[in-house]
Structure 1
Amino acid sequence: ISNRKEKLQIDLKSKWLESIRVEPNVFLNVFEITIDFPQVLKTIITRIDYDDYDTTVIDFFITTSSEMLPLTNFKSRIIYTDLFNDETWLDFSESMKVLVRWYETGLGNLSCRIGFLKNDIYSYFKEKEISEITDSENIILITEYPYKAQENGLAFFKYLMEEQNTFKPIYIISRASNDVHLLKKYLSNVVFYKSKEHIDYFFKANFLAHTHTPNYAVPVLSASAEQKIKDLYKLFLQHGIIGVRNLEYMYGRKTHPNLINKFIVSSEREKSIVRDELYYPEEDIAVTGLARFDSLLKDNGFFESYKVRKKVLIMPSWRMGQEKLSDEDFTETTFYKAFHSLINNPRLEKLVMDKGITIDLYLHNNFQKYNHLFTSDFVNIIKASDTTVQTLLKEHGILITDFSSVGLDFAIQRRPVLYYQFDVELKEQRAEESSKNFLPGKIFQIEDDLINEIEQKIKRYRMDKE
């Protein structure tokens, strides 16, 4: 039994019952196994973050062994069958229940997702799950990550609170979030993740505006909650302009037919991508600009940009699959080696000292857990809990990124962007935007060339392409 996210596993021995010869050299072996599932989870899960959405996936394998002689090291996945119930609730501890949600993988194998609720919240959830609820109010739930209130979700929530009275906006956030203070003015319309109020509004709501996935709005991903998500009208606010990556596998309507009802985009160019590559009809796409752009562009002229020209922000994207690596394996990646080398380059350090430059490194949300692996005497490593992406974009005059759409956000401010693409074979990269003509800044593969350009940009502060 394996925890896919943490790469931890536990081996259990089954009880052999009988072996039936069905052909001369073919036997049907019958066995049974009893699993103390809560105890298994305590063994293969190192940390339970109750206030966050649980992304844990458990996989099941089988292998055969003999006390007489070696047989095989091969582990076969256990096949999903209809014998498995949709879900099982178990006592995880004296104070908490765990949901085991069985499902069939794309290859027909058995896996399960899990979720935790405290006993009193579980009872309340089960009560609301079966009660008759009428959607009498125009309640619109708004969520980013459960622990975030920083970008399009926050901007849209503030707009709804201040500019209209048709809808009742409800922002969902973790009680432990560092961003709660950003919602202080509107706490009457804020509910904490997995609270009774969250459960109430979740089952009452008829609209959901999300920046990543509608699943971040659910208290726990039970069958009833999943059905409720399907029934909601879902507005996708996005969290960045679609620029370099092909996102069909994440947001495409063919792959995820129930994910989005209305897709918000920033331009006609982006609309054509959502229509032609993500397979949404034009009536389901709205060209409005992203919600956070209002504040990004406010009081943001050339003078404001020039004042921060010596503040350099390094904000790379992530690499799919590498967010699951151990610290040791992550330090062996091209990504780590390239950026750790850059922030320790003696030439760049001399530039910082001679020209009075400030350099900050901000890792993507999926790589934030590796912050401690990046060290430098002259570059500041910024934690996500210390600030917001919007604040970083407004407070810096030069951006260094690789494939991130944040480069397009930065360019909207008419500030220079430098692209450091040391691993140019990015698998998800869109063909059109891999060309040098698309991006609003020069592309560099070599560290020294990038440092030369940083020095030039300080002297001659302007965009390469508008």
Structure 2
Amino acid sequence: MSYGELLKVEEVEGIVSFYIELNKKYESFEKELSLVFQNKEKDLVLSLPGIVDNSTNESVVYKFSLNRNEINLPAEKKNYYLFITAQGKKFRVRFINNFDENHSIDYFETNTHLFFVRRDRHRRVFFRTGSLCDLEAMYDLPNFITSISSDRDTVLASGEILNDTFLTHFPDAQFFLTLRTSNGVNMKAPLLIKGNEYVAKIEIPQDRYLPKGKWNFFILVNGEGFEKYFPCYIKRRHEENCHIEMQIPGFKESLVLRTKMKNGKISGKLSAQPIKPDSFNIKFREADQTYAIHFKFPKDSKIFTKGFDEIYLRLHQRDTNEFFDYKCEIDIKGNHLEVLSAIQIHQLTNGTIDSARRWDVYLGIKRSEGFFNHRIKNQQLSLINKITTAYLKSDEDQYYTMFYRTKYNGLSFVYSRIPLVKYVNDYHIDNGRLILEGITKFSYNKFNHEEIIVSLVLVNRMTEESLVYKGRRYGGKQKKKFSIEIPLKELDALVNNFKEIIDFYLVMEGPGLYRKVKIGLKEFDYYKDDIQVHDAVDTNSEIVTEYYLTITPKGNLKLESFRYNRKSYELIQRSADLAPSKNVWLVGERPDTAQDNGLRFFEYIRENHPEIEIYYAIEEHAPDAEKLKSIGNVLFIGSDEHIEKSIEASKFIGTHDLDYILPFKGAKMKNYREAQKIFLQHGVLGRKNVPYHKKYYKYPFDIFIVSSIPEKTMVVNKFGYEWHEVAATGLARFDKLQENHHPNREILLIPTWREWIVNEEKLINSSYFNKYLSFITSARLAEILERYDLKLNFYPHYRMQEYIADNIDIDNKRIRLIKLGEVDVQNLIKDNILMITDYSSVSFDFTYLRKPVIYYHFDPDMFFSTGILRPIEETFLGDIVSTEEELLNKIENAALRDFRPLEIVDERFDWIFTVQDQNNNQRILDVILNGIQEEEPLSVENN
């Protein structure tokens, strides 16, 4: 392909000239030769004749000139591409390799427009053109970074900027140098401008979550009613002065900020800085229960070049976010820095465990600024588990410890019980008996299998009452089969209420062994609304109990029971194949609550659309049931009326899975299968990978409510719903958030739950419980509350409330424990001035009111082990802390700034809330009645 080579662009007394070198063969076409400007639509905008400026034996240099004030262009911003035309042929113009930046202009102005000369990745020339009279119609503010340096926690930059002309049109503008990610996280500093030159000093926060990846440099222009980001550029001659490699301590791991230049633009990349040993040796000493560790690292590694005070081997525990430190001895031999340490495992293996405890291994370089933690990585670690495994015994079980290589070649350490392979491979109901058959096998043959007894324990999830059934064990010496029979009639002892859930636990007992674990299927297709097998007990009696064997997302078995009077049971059987018969709407939340989107939507319909026959389903004795009496149309779950209306219903509307508000298994009933199903949600999605994917339902939601277009795009891309099935209406409860909003000097502490905590014993032994207990009993917290005249309202997750109320004495008049149903959650959101949570989506309500939130992330690796839907920085708009000390510091900082939210809340607000009015409920009603009208983008994936 032929190119015209751009040598330089110059301006003399308003005449802009382009010097372009062409192959000698075009010399004969001089009269037909033109330089043309063409837009993206390939329209010819401008054509300039050329004259010969000089020539050689191989090439001719042509000069093309224009009067800048005679250019007439539309006001909108445009790209214009340069071409040479000759005898019907057209080819692009590109920058010559040795383009003369020193004697060439970068931009020129007309009375109305700014032309900025740019290059693409192929060096091809184009102009970015914008109107000087309209900030939104400007592509670029011509600017060039000339040097960048770093010092501890700051980035110092200097550069050139077209300031005079800009200030003529926007005299009140303020300028900032900004480092910014693609999803809006930024760090900025004001420009100190003198003439057309500036300096700026960006402070890199040491106590704030900084996402890894690309950070682009921008000039941010702020003025009254406008804000605009313009990319920063760099000239080739300045590139050598703009290379930095800045180490940032961070909490969990050290990061490095490196600058990168490409196509005349400059950006930074923030990434982890792992360290790879050239060799290693790890041995376990049985005598003193100690691992002796020896690493050899390259002495010239950049990690060591800045020096250090001390070096530690640091084990970061995933479920507590805490470090265990082991000081190292250092020996320099030749080109290597040898690091020796010892780990006594008693510190890591204390206490009881029922799941693996894991640590990631870092090399901690201690300097005056703090620890710089570098993940130890090496592909050669693949066999390390075989040579570092140690076995331990207790009275009730056997354990092992070992170092191992992770999926991404990191060195980690685990303390766990000897792995037990267990699963059910056959199940059926025969003559009123549930029969389970399966396999058990320990990964390491450390037990006498002949002396092990296997039992199945069935536990009522709510009351924790249980029944035990001994199993028959048979088969080989190690891989044993088991068979257990459960008479369904006997389960009546566990069934106290209309609906119950019974969990299955396998118990292995023998000499030196007591193991209680959930049991499930090895191979399964998971559907939330599916049934494995079912049966009914006492069908001729006045009380009939139905049992449904179902599975959890992990394949664990559970029984769901329904207890009916005989009349209702027979009605359900007769109606199983009937289509929806009436326009009845059924709405609800969890069985025991009315304080979320379900309640607000129900209120709205009752107040504004009395013609709609809508009912709210809730347990009769739930604390929230009382508030519904004045609204009317309340169905108590399991009542005859609830069953009748559920059979007639054509619309089921819920904030959680619809099973919560049904008096039967929906999949069994034709009217449910054919009814419209609406998911109101109970928060904003984007954090934990919750199982609301379309693939997890045989009868999925027909309408999925979200708060923003970015959230809608995520639900389409990751949850498998179609664009026309997801509605960005905003949540129903947001409509009344602004009403009577007069916050007190009170802090709301509202943690979310951990699904791996399944009973009281696990709660008491969990880091989750102990972290929050430590915080609310902290002497420093009491001091902060007293000093700033604050109160703290602790609203534990409902699964945690009963234990705390009965067992924890909070001896502080400024700390109040709030029980489920005692105060409406929406009132708590309105009445408090600061929120502390870990990952709860109720924080979005606080953010909606533009109040500060502090996120206590002491176990993010565990909590997000199943994945995270959107990057942390997109949905956690506030301070993110890892330790109790950091949490207390941020509370005090919030008090000192009078509880104003951080700037990032305003900067990223639209990422969470597309609509911000009081019409969400009307929009939800509209999409239920009329369908979703939002236009689908050309490519959902790219939004």
Residue type at the aligned position of 2:635: V
Q: Percent identity?
A: 27
Task: Identify the residue that residue 850 of structure 2 maps to in structure 1.
Answer: 414
Q: 1:178 Cα shift?
A: 1.1
Q: How does 1:106-185 map to 2 (within 5 A)?
A: 111=557, 113-118=559-564, 120=565, 122-131=566-575, 135-185=580-630
Question: How many residues are paired up?
Answer: 428
Task: Identify the residue that residue 739 of structure 2 maps to in structure 1.
Answer: 298
2:778 aligned residue (327, 331, 345): 345
Q: 1:441 Cα shift?
A: 0.7
Secondary structure of the residue that 2:631 maps to in structure 1? helix
Q: Is this contact kept in 1: 2:705–2:727, CA < 8 A?
A: yes
- Residue 321 (structure 1) aligned with residue 756 (structure 2): yes
Q: Is this contact kept in 1: 2:836–2:856, CA < 8 A?
A: yes
Task: Looking at secondary structure, tell me which structure has more helix per residue.
Answer: 1
Task: Identify the residue that residue 430 of structure 1 maps to in structure 2.
Answer: 868
Q: 1:397 Cα shift?
A: 0.5
Secondary structure of the residue that 1:171 maps to in structure 2? strand
Alignment gaps of 5+ in structure 1: 20-24, 26-30, 66-72
> Deviation per CA, 1:342-374, whole angstroms, max 9, x where unpaired?
101101112222332110111123433433344
Task: Identify the residue that residue 87 of structure 1 maps to in structure 2.
Answer: 534
Task: Identify the residue that residue 11 of structure 1 maps to in structure 2.
Answer: 469
Task: Identify the residue that residue 199 of structure 1 maps to in structure 2.
Answer: 643
1:312 aligned residue (737, 747, 752): 747
Task: Looking at secondary structure, tell me which structure has more strand per residue.
Answer: 2
Distance 1:240 1:36, change over 3 A: same
Distance 1:241 1:374, change over 3 A: farther
Q: How does 1:240-259 map to 2 (within 5 A)?
A: 240-247=683-690, 250-259=691-700
Q: Is this contact kept in 1: 2:544–2:569, CA < 8 A?
A: no
Q: 1:64 Cα shift?
A: 13
Instruction: For 2:554 and 2:879, locate their aligned partners in 1 and report how far apart those are by CA, in whole Å.
Output: 42
Alignment gaps of 5+ in structure 2: 1-455, 477-481, 524-530, 907-943
Instruction: For 2:771 and 2:746, locate their aligned partners in 1 and report how far apart those are by CA, in whole Å.
Output: 21
> Deviation per CA, 1:177-232, whole angstroms, max 9, x where unpaired?
11122112222x1111111111110110010110101111221338634x543222
2:681 aligned residue (238, 242, 254): 238
Q: Is this contact kept in 2: 1:10–1:40, CA < 8 A?
A: no
2:788 aligned residue (336, 355, 379): 355
- Residue 283 (structure 1) aligned with residue 724 (structure 2): yes
Q: Is this contact kept in 1: 2:587–2:653, CA < 8 A?
A: yes
Secondary structure of the residue that 1:292 maps to in structure 2? helix
Secondary structure of the residue that 2:489 maps to in structure 1? helix
> Deviation per CA, 1:405-446, whole angstroms, max 9, x where unpaired?
1111101111111111112312245264324x6422111112
Instruction: For 2:871 and 2:796, locate their aligned partners in 1 and report how far apart those are by CA, in whole Å.
Output: 22
Q: Is this contact kept in 2: 1:340–1:375, CA < 8 A?
A: no
Task: Identify the residue that residue 878 of structure 2 maps to in structure 1.
Answer: 441
Q: Is this contact kept in 2: 1:143–1:217, CA < 8 A?
A: yes
Task: Identify the residue that residue 893 of structure 2 maps to in structure 1.
Answer: 456
> Deviation per CA, 1:263-285, whole angstroms, max 9, x where unpaired?
00111121111111111111000
Task: Identify the residue that residue 377 of structure 1 maps to in structure 2.
Answer: 811
Which structure ranks higher in relative contact order (CA pairs < 8 Å, sequence separation ≥ 6)?
A: 1
Distance 1:64 1:184, change over 3 A: closer
Residue type at the aligned position of 1:384: L
Instruction: For 1:433 and 1:340, locate their aligned partners in 2 and report how far apart those are by CA, in whole Å.
Output: 29
Residue type at the aligned position of 1:38: K
Instruction: For 2:586 and 2:841, locate their aligned partners in 1 and report how far apart those are by CA, in whole Å.
Output: 26
> Deviation per CA, 1:77-109, whole angstroms, max 9, x where unpaired?
7999xxx99422214998633212245788999
Residue type at the aligned position of 1:433: P
Q: 1:7 Cα shift?
A: 8.7
Task: Identify the residue that residue 404 of structure 1 maps to in structure 2.
Answer: 840
Q: 1:455 Cα shift?
A: 2.0
Q: Is this contact kept in 1: 2:537–2:546, CA < 8 A?
A: yes
Residue type at the aligned position of 1:286: A
Distance 1:85 1:246, change over 3 A: closer
Q: Is this contact kept in 2: 1:240–1:405, CA < 8 A?
A: yes
1:39 aligned residue (480, 490, 514): 490
> Deviation per CA, 1:326-353, whole angstroms, max 9, x where unpaired?
3x33122111111111101101112222
The TM-score, its normalising length taken from structure 1, stands at 0.80
Instruction: For 1:74 and 1:459, locate their aligned partners in 2 and report how far apart those are by CA, in whole Å.
Output: 50
> Deviation per CA, 1:29-70, whole angstroms, max 9, x where unpaired?
xx998754332552xx3xx4515x4232447x79999xxxxx
Cα RMSD, aligned residues only: 3.8
Instruction: For 1:406 and 1:320, locate their aligned partners in 2 and report how far apart those are by CA, in whole Å.
Output: 18
Q: Is this contact kept in 1: 2:785–2:791, CA < 8 A?
A: yes
Distance 1:406 1:63, change over 3 A: closer
Residue type at the aligned position of 1:245: K
Q: How does 1:59-78 map to 2 (within 5 A)?
A: none
